[in-house]
Structure formats: structure tokens, C-alpha cells
């Protein structure tokens, strides 16, 4: 990768390079991001995904939205034959087992789209049930009662 060339192209983003196990510990202090609503996990391996998911434990209230989109690149593969017992899928399963108040789940509404492209199956949703804003009603139409 041509790092200087890539950095020149970035307008509103910042390239953070280094060992993910080290970077997650100080990410918020070092970068002061806006509240995070989506993360792309492109880590290839079980161990690095476990390390990256620790980021979800390091933030305080306000660092994340109560519901977030998460993309995992190595959860679907025709040749690789990924399973729930290795790689990113195992890291996700273990995260869910260790976090009673936060859960990663497939984005079922994306998978239900007829002829859904492959990436729809690589999107997961993080629900932070303990987030102070989690119970805020999010539907566009606040009046969902049927008239009798």
C-alpha cells in the first residue's frame, strides 16, 4: 500500500496503522471520533477480530450509537468455507457469550432482500441494550396504533 498516496486522498477520514491489539486501548483518547454508527472489520483472522472487538468495550457512553452496523469481510466465502467455529464468526460468537448487554446479530432485513448481494450477508448489527438511548423510539412514524 502506498501510505502517503492514500493519506493524500483522505478528506474526512484518518488512516490508523499499527497492531490492532495495541491501538484499541487508546483509540478514543488518541482520535476523539464522533459517535460511531458503523465499523468495518477487515481483519482476516480470529485473533485480530477478537482484539478489534475489544474496541466495543473501551468506549464510554457517547462513543457509540445504541445500534450500529458492523461489516465483517470474512464471514462469507465460497472457497474459504467459513464456519461458526473458526475465524471472525467464532470471534463474534464469543463476543456475544461474554457480553450480556451487547449483542451482534445478522442484519436479517438485508438478507431478506430478493437476490441479496453477498455483502448483505456480511453486515451484522450491534445492539447495545445498556446504552442510555437504546430505548428511544427510532421509527419514523411515532403513531403506530391502528384506528379501531
Residue 147 lies in a domain: no
Residue 120's pLDDT is 92
Residue 22 lies in a domain: yes
Residue 34 lies in a domain: yes
126: helix, strand or coil: strand
Residue 140 lies in a domain: no
Residue 24 lies in a domain: yes
Range of the domain at 83: 3-8+15-128
Q: How many domains, in total, are found in the chain?
A: 1
Residue 41 lies in a domain: yes
Mean pLDDT, rounded, for 127-132: 94
CB 67 within 8 A of CB 125: yes
Given a cut of 80, whether residue 35 has pLDDT beyond it is yes
Residue 138 lies in a domain: no
Mean pLDDT, rounded, for 111-115: 91
Q: Which among 94, 80, 104, 113 has a CA at the least distance from the CA of 47?
A: 94
Residue 136 lies in a domain: no
Give one DSSP letter per residue of 33-56, joined into a string: PPPEEEEEE---SHHHHHHHHTHH
Mean pLDDT, rounded, for 7-34: 91
Beta sheet of 64-72, edge-to-edge order: 36-41, 64-72, 123-128, 102-106
Amino acid at each position: 500500500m502506498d501510505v502517503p498516496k492514500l493519506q493524500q486522498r483522505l478528506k474526512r477520514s484518518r488512516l490508523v496503522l499499527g497492531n490492532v491489539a495495541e491501538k484499541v486501548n487508546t483509540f478514543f483518547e488518541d482520535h476523539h471520533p464522533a459517535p460511531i454508527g458503523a465499523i468495518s472489520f477487515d481483519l482476516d483472522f480470529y485473533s485480530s477480530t477478537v482484539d478489534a472487538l475489544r474496541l466495543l468495550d473501551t468506549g464510554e457512553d457517547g462513543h457509540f450509537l445504541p445500534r450500529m452496523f458492523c461489516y465483517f469481510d470474512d464471514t462469507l466465502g465460497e472457497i474459504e468455507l467459513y464456519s461458526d467455529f473458526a475465524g471472525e464468526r467464532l470471534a463474534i460468537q464469543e463476543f456475544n457469550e461474554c457480553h450480556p448487554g451487547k449483542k451482534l446479530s445478522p442484519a436479517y432485513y438485508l438478507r431478506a432482500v430478493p437476490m441479496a448481494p453477498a455483502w448483505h450477508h456480511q453486515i451484522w448489527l450491534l445492539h447495545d441494550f445498556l446504552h442510555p438511548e437504546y430505548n428511544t423510539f427510532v421509527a419514523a412514524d411515532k403513531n403506530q396504533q391502528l384506528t379501531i
